[in-house]
Amino acid sequence: MDQQTALILIVVNLLAAVVLIIWYLFDRYTKRIESLIQQNNKPSCAFIQTQTKRKG
């Protein structure tokens, strides 16, 4: 295996690792938002009402 092929494999592996880390963090972040909405429905309702008022 020549040097260029090894470099390409390393870059591909690094990109895959970055994608996995971003996906993991995004998954945790969305679960945190869902739990916050389930714990406290009033802020989300108020947020939706302000958005609909702006549109109207």
Kindly report, residue by residue over 13-44, the tens digit of the pLDDT: 999 999 999 999 999 888 888 888 777 765 55
pLDDT score for 55: 62
Domain residue ranges of the chain, discontinuous segments joined by +: 3-55
41 vs 1: CA distance, rounded Å: 58
CA distance to 1, 4, 11, 15, 28, per residue, from 20 (Å): 27, 24, 14, 9, 12
Residue with tokens 């880390």: 21
DSSP per-residue letters across 37-54: HHH-HHHHHHHHHHHHHH
Is pTM, for the whole model, over 0.95? no
